[in-house]
Chains A and B, each alone.
Chain A
Amino acid sequence: MIGLKILDRGTPLGRFWAEFCENRIALVSFWIVLIVSALAVLAPLYAPQDPYDIGKLVLTDARRPPGHVGAGGYVYWLGTDAQGRDLLSAILYGLRISVQIGIAAGAIAFVVGGTMGATAAFLGGRVEVLIMRFVDMQLSFPAILLALVISAVLGQGKWQIIAALVAAQYAYFARTAHGAASAERAKEYIEAALSTPLSARAVVFRHLLPNCMPPLIVVATVQVANSIALEATLSFLGLGLPVTEPSLGMLIANGFQYMLSGRYWISIYPGIALIVLILAINLVGDQIRDQLNPRLKR
């Protein structure tokens, strides 16, 4: 099966990858995520039409079914939406936005939350209590509510959405990092590092955090999928990205009114793309989580 011998079995990552490949579903999902992300990010290079360029839209081709040949001999493979956008291109661009936002929000939340949690666990005492109570308070709000409020305050735009998503999600990373770091903190290799003595920064970033990676990575995959779904929700509700830069959520929203009249493709195809992406990410995350669980001794 593809991908089996990529990494050297001696390293921890190599062993992990070898075991990962044994689960066919996870492996397929992994390739789906990789390929879809690559296709999405490279969309501007090959997409038939640039859906952001309003000048290119042909209004007379609006709401055409898949396969329709439009003005200029152009085949709309997945049909068009209410503004005459080629749905295939719109979906590709929309995926691109989703992937960009999902990964950016996930990565930034990972760094911010992970550092907060690990540092809190390392320092202990009042600092730890302060940081973690703040994180706990945040966790009691539903993520969607938080994202909505911040998004409404900050206005529309890609970076505004990312900021809202990070604010809604860093707490999960912080809590997970704190739990893992508290457990690692008591272990002897941390004591050994402290007794050399090494500086606090070296201990946290070179010893503590790397060993908290397993649960953090699981949270990261889940949160990337969540970010994508949250962003789609925000766009569906009209917040988030402007109308001229449609994301998958907005495409789904726009096509909603046409569902019952038979023009299903405007909502369904973006919906399918969204589902496939999120599902694949979740399946990969599931496999990672199962592998990182303490296993039965063989």
Chain B
Amino acid sequence: MSAPLMELRGVSKRFVRRLSLGDRMAAKLGAAVETREVRAVEDVSLAIVAGETLGLVGESGCGKSTLGRVAAGILPPTTGEALLDGQPVMSRGMNPRKLTTRVQTVFQDPFASLNPRRRIGDTIAEGPIAHRLVGRAGAEAYVAEWLGRVGMDPGYAGRYPHQFSGGQRQRIAIARALAMRPDLLICDEPVASLDVSIQAQVLNLFLELRRALNLTCLFISHDLGVVRHVSDRVAIMYLGRIVELGPTQAIYADPKHPYTQALLTSVPRLKRRRDVDRHDFRPIAGELPSPLAPPSGCHFHPRCPAANDTCRRIYPAHTALAGDRMVACHLHAAKDGAGLGASGLPKAVAAP
């Protein structure tokens, strides 16, 4: 086993409301000015091994999209770093820039992620030409090849995005990302905006391309069924932190963290068998806390049926469990399994 392809070490991302000149002057004069800080991601460490698909699951406000952007080199982390093969993805300093083309992203909204005023052929070819993956002369054939691979007629290269349906645009977005020949593909809710039947088509396409190109993926979604279908390992996020991590089947069969358990039972699922009682719900109590004011201690304690006093005061440390699993919960603390390193992989694997 080699070093992980992508490593996120202690990544935190905080958004601070920028104070206007007036506020700053008022603060200097001693007035109490409210600084609002959103802790979108708090101390996340993850490692993605080459060839695997890591699913990232959570509800809105949990920080999964922000984490995806940090991994993609679009957002610089406040603390910590995102490394691809040991090299940082973004430069540091005043104007951070993305340093690599080996990580590419497929975005959620197929209607907003393509420039409406550019032909899709130009959109797909733009990146590869700019980074000299293909010359201007060969661009047309290159685009045609990729359109064919995502199941679209190469003759469509001259059309504009509005002439395509949502599913087709998402295929174009996939072609654009893959035309850069990335090693790591980050998919940020790629099928959330699509109809169910189109979802299946795009998911099948994704699985086929993943196999053919031997891609490593970070698959971000709120849809538990979709994540289960495509991921090897899954990480569950809640209010900016990872609360559980491990192989997909193991987590779905036997979730350890109360949030994961509640999520899996409370989410409406398609039940097709006749004798199953379809009408009983056990929803999670309480509202999703705002990221502006996360609860003290373990963020889940207000909604957790098993919360105790420690849960209210101290944030639980990551506990390693058997089977390469990790959970952040006091109820499972002091159960030491194979010993997970900070990156969430067994110690023997984590890079020194």
Residues of A within 8 A of B (CB): 10-12, 187-189, 191-199, 202, 206-207, 210-211, 213
B residues 57-76 near A (Cβ < 8 Å) are: 69, 72-74
CB atoms of A211 and B117 under 8 A apart: yes
A222 to B180, CA, bound (A): 43
Residues on A with C-beta less than 8 A from B45 are none
Q: List 16 A-B contacts (CB under 8 A).
A: A10-B160, A188-B112, A189-B115, A191-B105, A192-B107, A192-B114, A193-B126, A195-B74, A195-B104, A196-B104, A196-B130, A198-B126, A206-B118, A207-B118, A210-B117, A211-B116
B residues 67-114 near A (Cβ < 8 Å) are: 69, 72-74, 97-98, 101, 104-105, 107-109, 112-114
- If the complex has contacts A195-B105, A211-B117, are A12 and B98 also in contact, measured as CB distance less than 8 A? no
A56 to B321, CA, bound (A): 102
Task: Report the minimum CB–CB distance from A46 to chain B (whole Å).
Answer: 40
Task: Report the minimum CB–CB distance from B153 to chain A (whole Å).
Answer: 15
CB atoms of A12 and B117 under 8 A apart: yes
- If the complex has contacts A12-B162, A191-B107, A192-B176, are A198 and B113 also in contact, measured as CB distance less than 8 A? no
Q: Interface size (B, Cβ < 8 Å)?
A: 30
A194 to B112, CA, bound (A): 14
CB atoms of A197 and B163 under 8 A apart: no
Say which residue of A11, A188, A202 sits within 8 Å of B109 (CB atoms): A188
CB atoms of A195 and B98 under 8 A apart: yes
Of B72, B112, B173, most buried by chain A (CB within 10 Å of CB) is: B112
Residues of B within 8 A of A (CB): 69, 72-74, 97-98, 101, 104-105, 107-109, 112-118, 126-127, 130-131, 159-160, 162-163, 173, 176, 180
Q: What residue of chain B has the Cβ atom nearest to residue A202's Cβ?
A: B130
- If the complex has contacts A10-B163, A188-B108, are A196 and B116 also in contact, measured as CB distance less than 8 A? no
A197 to B105, CA, bound (A): 11
Q: What residue of chain A has the Cβ atom nearest to residue B103's Cβ?
A: A195
A187 to B108, CA, bound (A): 11
Residues on A with C-beta less than 8 A from B73 are 195, 197
Say which residue of A10, A11, A192, A211 sits within 8 Å of B105 (CB atoms): A192
What secondary structure prevails in chain A residues at the interface with B? helix
Give the 5 A-B residue pairs with the shortest CB-CB distance, closest first.
A196-B127, A197-B98, A188-B113, A188-B112, A189-B115
CB atoms of B115 and A207 under 8 A apart: yes
Task: Report the minimum CB–CB distance from A146 to chain B (whole Å).
Answer: 27
A213 to B116, CA, bound (A): 12
CB atoms of A12 and B126 under 8 A apart: no
Task: Report the minimum CB–CB distance from A183 to chain B (whole Å).
Answer: 12
Q: What residue of chain A has the Cβ atom nearest to residue B114's Cβ?
A: A189
Q: What residue of chain A has the Cβ atom nearest to residue B163's Cβ?
A: A10
Residues on A with C-beta less than 8 A from B118 are 206-207, 210
Residues on A with C-beta less than 8 A from B98 are 194-195, 197
Residues on A with C-beta less than 8 A from B107 are 188, 191-192
CB atoms of B97 and A189 under 8 A apart: no
Residues on A with C-beta less than 8 A from B162 are 12
CB atoms of A198 and B130 under 8 A apart: yes
Residues on A with C-beta less than 8 A from B115 are 189, 193, 207, 210-211
Residues on B with C-beta less than 8 A from A213 are 117
Task: Report the minimum CB–CB distance from B99 to chain A (whole Å).
Answer: 8
CB atoms of B108 and A196 under 8 A apart: no
Other than the given A193-B115, A211-B115, 11 more pairs (CB < 8 A) read: A12-B117, A187-B112, A189-B116, A191-B113, A192-B113, A192-B114, A192-B173, A194-B74, A196-B104, A196-B126, A202-B130
A202 to B104, CA, bound (A): 18
Residues on B with C-beta less than 8 A from A189 are 112-116
CB atoms of A195 and B72 under 8 A apart: yes
